[in-house]
Amino acid sequence: MTDAKNLTQLGKHVETPQSPEQAVLETVPFNRGDGPPAIVRFTCPEFTSLCPVTGQPDFAHIVIDYAPDKTLVESKSLKLFMTSFRNHGAFHEECTVMIGRRIVEATKPLWLRVGGYWFPRGGIPIDVFWQTGAPPKDVWLPDTGVAPYRGRG
């Protein structure tokens, strides 16, 4: 059984952090065993942040794939981290890269990629991709499942 006694958020009422910088990403031990690494996927189809200039909301579909080594990101802490962007003013590129870097800092995975599929701002959708390097050998990487933006056509 996984040791969860160090977790401070799971199973408890926790307020949404006021900013991504204040959010705490917690981890749990992971025994990856023999063979190719596992790929873990998180999708956040209703991600929200704020435009740093206008303060208007921006929306994205975020897909995070990572190959954990010795730790997994605990999902409630990830949800709280992702939700904290609702109060955060930053451009699409900064938000997407910050998500990837914070997960890497917390979990030290073998590999990670994050795709931010942002809905149009000023008529232009912006997609942002960031990864730590080449994926590990022999892993199965499914398509992200997010179609390119097509508007109403």
8 Å CB contact between 32 and 84: no
* Residue 12 tokens, joined: 């408890």
92 is in an annotated binding site: yes
75 is in an annotated binding site: yes
46 is in an annotated binding site: no
Q: Does residue 3 carry a catalytic annotation?
A: no
| Nearest residue to 47 (alpha-carbon basis) of 81, 71, 18, 6 | 81
| Nearest residue to 71 (alpha-carbon basis) of 40, 105, 112, 29 | 29
84 is in an annotated binding site: no
8 Å CB contact between 74 and 23: no
Catalytic residue among 51, 69, 95, 143: 51
| Residue entry with tokens 């992971």 | 30
* Residue 37 tokens, joined: 């690494």
Q: Does residue 143 carry a catalytic annotation?
A: no
Catalytic residue among 3, 34, 58, 65: 58
13 is in an annotated binding site: no
8 Å CB contact between 36 and 138: yes
Active site residues: 51, 58
Q: Which residues are annotated as a binding site?
A: 73-75, 92-93
Q: Which residues are annotated as a binding site for substrate?
A: 73-75, 92-93
